[in-house]
Structure 1
């Protein structure tokens, strides 16, 4: 397990980096979702088979939908945690502000 500490809300560079990283994750999730949905539609439309292959395809497609659901659930959860932790506006100075919260960390699996 990799333990990542939360960004310091008084550090401008850490706040910007955390927001940029979350935005990149959302962009990749959107791209992955579009590709997955296109692939699911293509398989459903083009597959003309019955029996064991149809059952196997339905299991794989359901696993793909579960993976999409899990990605978006995780992103929404981390987005809420990030918005609750980070300030609304960026700090002006790097060292002058005293942190009012104790440092904590997120557990990343």
Structure 2
């Protein structure tokens, strides 16, 4: 899985891009959840399986629920990190980012 880095809070474009990408991910996850739940209900209602096929269907359905859970967990963790990292207000377009103190020693 690709590791996502947090944007620079002093960069307006990076803040806007991070917020837009997070919103897109939430919308895609909601659509994925509805489709996945619909498919699970359809399989449970329409499939008349017995024996080995019933066990195989149970394993596949449990794996799909685990995938849903993992997707939402990852999305919520990234959302919390994004909200705690980014400022509430966007930085100004022409504003120069504040200088951070350096630990470097000049000789």
Where relative contact order (Cα < 8 A, 6+ residues apart) is larger, the structure is 1
- For the aligned pair, the TM-score class normalised by the smaller chain equals 0.7 to 0.9
Q: Secondary structure at the match of 1:18?
A: helix
Task: Tell me, in whole angstroms, the C-alpha distance in 2 between the residues paired with 1:5 and 1:87.
Answer: 16
| Residues 79-90 of structure 1: pairs in structure 2 closer than 5 A | 79-90=79-90
Give the count of matched residue pairs: 102
- Seen in structure 2, the aligned counterparts of structure 1 residues 4 and 47 have a Cα distance that, compared at 3 Å, is closer
Bigger mean CA deviation after superposition, 54-63 or 1-10: 1-10
RMSD: 2.1
| Residues 85-100 of structure 1: pairs in structure 2 closer than 5 A | 85-98=85-98, 100=100
Q: Which has the higher strand share?
A: 1
Kindly report structure 1 stretches of 4+ aligned residues shifted beyond 4 Å: 1-4, 99-102
Gaps of 5+ in 1: 103-109
| Aligned residue number for residue 106 of structure 1 | none
Larger Rg: 1 or 2? 2
Q: Secondary structure at the match of 1:87?
A: coil
| Aligned residue number for residue 8 of structure 2 | 8
Task: Tell me, in whole angstroms, the C-alpha distance in 2 between the residues paired with 1:99 and 1:84.
Answer: 21
